[in-house]
Every structure is written in structure tokens, then in C-alpha cells.
Amino acid sequence: MWEYTDKVKDFFLHPKNIGEIENPDAVGDVGSIVCGDALRLTLKIDKDTKRITDARFQTFGCASAIASSSALTELVKGKTIEEALKVSNQDIADFLGGLPKEKMHCSVMGREALEAAIANYRGQPNVVEEEGKLVCECFNITEEKIRKIAIENHLTTVDEITDYTKAGGGCGECREEIEAILRDIWSLKIPEKPKKPKKLTNLQKIALIQEIIEREIRPGLQSDGGDIELIDIDGNKVIIALRGMCTGCVMSGVTITGVQDKLRELVSEEIVVDAQ
């Protein structure tokens, strides 16, 4: 059995933005029912500001596919199309508090539907779905897609590729070819996962937290009309205050969790963030 977070369960049982927009400005269709997962994303985009004013989804898939699709619509609503294109499959998984590794392909499907919808809006072809040599016939996965997902997510094993794309998870005949693709990618470039500093003094930790908030967190919040103020740091406890549009926002809990996740990723897993 998969271990689902409470948020995945909530977004599966009470999905937000389900359905199809009438006269959408963009449509993204990915996956196929034959392969077990399919997703249609429809967007309404303000033609002057290029901001996504509405996002809805229809999906055929498991609990993770429904939760990931719903999370995607929540993440992109209110963003410009340029901002939305920065939403990665990892952002979708993080928004849900994580997905079982075997279900990461659901977050990838969400990201691909977003790319397909924006390509459709711009009158461009859906590159990942249409280009490249077919590697996995069971799941209709191209070499182009395997390379893209491996590089974006630092994947180095065939099993990881299966978790993120399903390729290799059927008859298994393509697994050798996937392994060769991975060897080719990573013999040229070793994947670099973001590294955390090993041992910090209190002063170093305080300075690093301030730097991460300024460099990694504040710009994103300010681009949505919000802001963050660092109030205090007491050991691993970080007290912040949300400002601007973030004040009283219904998603403020998600924002605080996002701040905590980023600080845990880049400073220390012990960090706990509280908001005033």
C-alpha cells in the first residue's frame, strides 16, 4: 500500500477545480487511457496581462493523479504564463507534502499538461509528446522525454525513470535502452543535487537563513504581491510574518510549509517555521 499524506488524501477526496472550462484559451492533453493515466488541463488566460484567471482539470487515473492535477490548478491560478512555466513536477509533489516515489509520474503528468496547454496557447507543438525516438512501447515514452525528466529530477537509475515516467514498468524490454540513455546523460554530466552545509555555528545558521529568505523565498512571494519578514531565530525555530497579499490568505498555511521546506532543504532538516 502507498503512504499518502493528508493533503494528497484531501485533494483526492475533495479535488479543487475539477471539470472543463467553457471556451478555454488553452488546452493541454497528455497521457492516454490505454496507458492508465490521462489528463486534460484547460486554462482561461487574461489576454492583456497573460495571467491565468482559471484552471480546471479532468483526469483518468489513480488518487495521486487526481490530487496532483488538482494541486497543479491551485498552483498556476493567478500566475502569469511565464511564472506558471516555472512550476515543476517537484513543486506539485511538494505542494501535496510529497508523493510516494512510485507515484511521481503523476506529478510529471501535471507538469506536462501545463507545458502542453501553454504550447497550445502559443500555437506551438507539444514537443515532449510529439518528438523523439520511441523507447518504451508499453507506455509510449520517447527518448526525449526520458532525457528531460532524468535531467530535471536528477534521476540516475532505471527504477527511478519508471517511478517518474512508467517507462520500463511493463514488459521490461526497454530497460536496457533506458540504462544506456542514463549512462550517456550522466557520463557527460554528474547530477548535482543541492547540497546542505554540514555543520553550522549559530551565527552561520542565522546568516544562511537570512540569505535563503532574501534570495530564494522573498522574490517569489513579492511577484504575487506578498512578502515575508523574518522576526526571530531561536535555535532551529524560525519566526516569520507574512505581509502584503499573503496576510490572511487562505493559502498562508501552504506558504509557511513551503518556507519551512525550503529552509529544511538548504539549511537544516531540524528547522521549524512559525508565523506570527
d(CA 114, CA 57): 11
| 178 close to 228: Cβ distance less than 8 angstroms | no
Active-site residue among 62, 106, 138, 171? 106
User: Least separation, in Å, of the C-beta of 162 and ligand FES?
Assistant: 8
| 63-76 helix and 104-121 helix, angle to the nearest 10 degrees | 40
Instruction: Tell me, residue by residue from 154 to 183, as one string, x for binding to ligand FES by CB under 6 A and - for no binding.
Output: -------------xxxxxxxx---------
**C-beta neighbour count of 213 within 10 angstroms:** 19
Contact residue for ligand FES among 26, 55, 136, 273 (CB under 6 A): 136
CB 149 to ligand FES: min, Å: 15
Q: Should residue 149 be labelled a site residue for ligand FES when binding is judged by CB under 6 A?
A: no
Catalytic (active site) residue 171: no
E strands along the chain, which residues?
26-32, 37-45, 52-60, 134-136, 141-142, 226-234, 237-244, 272-275
Adjacent-strand bridge partners of 228: 242
Identity of the residue, 138 or 251, whose beta carbon is nearer to ligand FES in the bound complex: 138
User: Whole-number minimum distance, CB 143 to ligand FES, in Å?
Assistant: 12
Contacts of 250 (CB under 8 A, 6+ apart): none
Which grid cell is 224? 504575487
Nearest distance, CB of residue 113 and ligand FES, angstroms: 22
Size of the site for ligand FES (CB under 6 A): 11
**Minimal distance, residue 163 CB to ligand FES, in Å:** 13
- The rounded Cα 54 to chain-centroid distance in angstroms is 19
Of the pair 155, 246, the CB lying nearest ligand FES is at 155
174 is catalytic: no
Residue 158: strand, helix, or coil = helix
> Contact residues for ligand FES (CB under 6 A)?
136-138, 167-174
Catalytic residue set: 35, 106
